[in-house]
Amino acid sequence: MSDEFEPKIIALVCNWCTYTAADLAGTSRLAYSANVRIIRLMCTGMIDPKYILKALLDGADGVFIGGCHPGDCHYINGNLKAKKRISGISKIVEQFGFDPERLRLRWIGASEGPEFQRNMNEFFESIKALGSTPVRDRMIL
């Protein structure tokens, strides 16, 4: 294995839009890092802050959250609730010693396969620039 840092990314995505986009990226053979682990949830609105903390504390270098564009949510406004919640959690994440940049929320529509790929690559690069999660060297859990 090479010594180059390969960030581990957890992507919490909504079942309706972003998961479809991820699937489309897959079938269109649009490549992104194999270290991105996609976890499908029904809606970004069901994301409990503790999932994000769990992922970061367990050693994820970044947590990506992908939902429907505002107005597209299958559950009317779950994505907007997620937005509010995540702007709050990013402050808490900071208190745990994580750079809030490790958490990113984006809207990706169902037909936006290329958009999904681009977002994954961008997030991957920005996490790479941030470096490995502090959990591994500083925190003892």
Per the CB < 8 A criterion, the answer to whether 83 and 73 are in contact is no
Q: Which of residues 89-128 bind another protein (CB under 8 A)?
A: 109-115
Give the x/- contact pattern for another protein in 70-89, rule: CB under 8 A. xxx-xxxxx--x---x----
DSSP tally for the chain: helices H, then strands E: 5, 4
- Residues 10 and 47: their CA atoms lie apart, in Å, by 13
Least distance (Å) between residue 54 CB and another protein:
5
Cα→Cα distances 85→44, 48, 80, 136, Å: 10, 9, 9, 27
Residue 69 or residue 128: which is nearer to another protein going by CB? 69
Give the x/- contact pattern for another protein in 12-51, rule: CB under 8 A. ---xxx-xx--xx-xxxx-x--xx-x-x-xxx-xxxx-xx
Spell out the residues 6+ positions from residue 21 whose beta carbon is closer than 8 angstroms to its own: 66, 108, 109, 110, 111, 112, 113, 115, 116
10 part of the interface to another protein, by CB under 8 A: yes
Residues that bind another protein (CB under 8 A): 8, 10, 15-17, 19-20, 23-24, 26-29, 31, 34-35, 37, 39, 41-43, 45-48, 50-51, 54-55, 58-60, 69-72, 74-78, 81, 85, 109-115
